[in-house]
Structure 1
């Protein structure tokens, strides 16, 4: 019973974090950030906003972020109480709750006080980490449950340090590129835009390499193979969604393209984080040992 509660809490946290990201895109795209004035949590002195579209968009974003914060704290408490022997689960829940709360506070400060473009970009970056940690938690809990029912066969050999380090670096570099993109959108500096395009091209090559190595060298490890395929698909879709933004600019579909781009970005970074954790686990086990690291306590979590 406790495991089911933890599993569904992790799923719900992941979904609400994604909704927060979507709402943030809508607020930015419609310029609704100050439609409730420089007041928080009130909207023009009221708890219930006015009937203007802009105020409803901004208030919905605030409401979603508030729900995300409450759910993150509930999830954290549940994992601290019911998953005491799974330190990894608890760490993911702590990271998620911390960044959800921090980015919510930053959002409130951005309303009350004007913020510089780097800080606004960091607000998006923290939301990205919050979603990534929520997805890593959900995937880890799901994986642990699956391994309890169907243990994996031993791996032929452990993960090389080169593959591990390259995977971890790709996740870090993805965050840098995403933050740079958010900064460019807030500053519109031409030189930074050129740097962003160069960095994006390098990121494409890097993640294609990571995915290729995962499939070629570790295809016998089911989750590594699947993760390799997923990151290749996502990194190929990312520039296409970026071009779609330009195509639909000014049309009635202008809202959906950036939401799709955000969706792909969020999942790409999150899956790279999970892949980094799995490669780190596999690099630490002796050759021939089972790949199901750290799942022996799942039944008691």
Structure 2
């Protein structure tokens, strides 16, 4: 019963984080960030917003962010109480709750006080980490199947340190590229745009290499192979959605394109984070030779 409750809490947290990201895109795309004036949490001195579209968009974003914060705190408390044997679950829930609260506070400060473009880009970056933590938590709980202690996989599922390091680097580099993209959208600087295009091309190469290594070298480890396929598909779709985002300016797809781009970006970073954790866990498994030597020494002793 406790496991099911925690599992569905993690699912709900993941969905609400994604909804917050979508609402943030709508607010940015429509320029509704100050439709409630420089007031928080009130909207033009009222708890209930006016009837303008802009104020409704901004107030909806505030409402979903508030619900996300409360749900994240409830999820953290539930995991601290019921998942004491799984410190990893508790860490994921704590990271999620921390960054949800931080990005909500930054959003409120951005309304009351004007913020610089780097700070606004960081606001999106923290929201990205919050969603990634929520997805990692949901996937980890689903994969575990229980709240018992983590069981080390057999030596046959060992992953090389090279694969682990490249995966972790790709996840970190993805965050850097996403932050740069958010900074470009807030500054519209041509020089930053060139840097973004170069970084995006490098990211494409890194992620495709990681995915190729996962599919080719670890076909005997189902979850690593599946993660490799997922990141390859998402990485190919990301630049295509970016192109659609530019083409859709002034068209009927004006709102759909950035939401699709954000969806792919969020899931790419989140799956790379989960893949980094899995490769890190599997890289710590002793090799078969090391295991056999330890067994022999134990038998001789």
TM-score bracket for the superposition, by shorter chain length: over 0.9
- Is 2:188 the counterpart of 1:214? no
Q: TM-score, normalised by structure 2?
A: 0.93
Give, in angstroms, the shift of residue 287 of structure 1: 2.9
- Which secondary structure does the structure 2 equivalent of 1:156 belong to? helix
1:16 match: 16
Q: How many residues align?
A: 287
C-alpha deviations, 1:276-298, integer Å up to 9, x for none?
00000000012359xxxxxxxxx
1:192 match: 192
Instruction: Give distance in 2, aligned partners of 1:128 and 1:247.
Output: 24
2:247 match: 247
Instruction: Give distance in 1, aligned partners of 2:247 and 2:268.
Output: 23
Instruction: Give distance in 2, aligned partners of 1:244 and 1:106.
Output: 29
Whether contact under 8 Å (1:158, 1:288) holds in the other structure is no
C-alpha deviations, 1:228-270, integer Å up to 9, x for none?
0000000000000001112211012100000000000000000
Q: How does 1:106-255 map to 2 (within 5 A)?
A: 106-145=106-145, 154=154, 156-255=156-255
Give, in angstroms, the shift of residue 154 of structure 1: 3.8
Moved over 6 A (4+): none
Q: How does 1:18-33 map to 2 (within 5 A)?
A: 18-33=18-33
1:54 match: 54
The 3 A distance-change label for structure 1 pair 153 and 163 is closer
- Which secondary structure does the structure 2 equivalent of 1:139 belong to? helix
Instruction: Give distance in 2, aligned partners of 1:261 and 1:185.
Output: 13
Q: TM-score, normalised by structure 1?
A: 0.93
- Is 2:247 the counterpart of 1:263? no
Q: Once superposed, what is the RMSD of the aligned Cα atoms?
A: 1.6
Instruction: Give distance in 1, aligned partners of 2:13 and 2:157.
Output: 35
Instruction: Give distance in 2, aligned partners of 1:182 and 1:154.
Output: 42
Give, in angstroms, the shift of residue 147 of structure 1: 11
2:70 match: 70
C-alpha deviations, 1:31-68, integer Å up to 9, x for none?
00000000000000000000000000000000000000
Whether contact under 8 Å (1:181, 1:196) holds in the other structure is yes
Whether contact under 8 Å (1:135, 1:270) holds in the other structure is yes
Give, in angstroms, the shift of residue 156 of structure 1: 2.4
- Is 2:76 the counterpart of 1:83? no
The 3 A distance-change label for structure 1 pair 288 and 107 is same
Q: How does 1:270-289 map to 2 (within 5 A)?
A: 270-287=270-287
Whether contact under 8 Å (1:69, 1:97) holds in the other structure is yes
Structure 1 segments unaligned to the other structure (5+ residues): 290-301
- Is 2:11 the counterpart of 1:2? no
Whether contact under 8 Å (2:155, 2:286) holds in the other structure is no
Select the structure of larger CA radius of gyration.
Answer: 2
C-alpha deviations, 1:199-223, integer Å up to 9, x for none?
0000000000000000111111000
Larger relative contact order, structure 1 or 2 (CA cutoff 8 Å, min sep 6): 1
Structure 2 segments unaligned to the other structure (5+ residues): 290-301
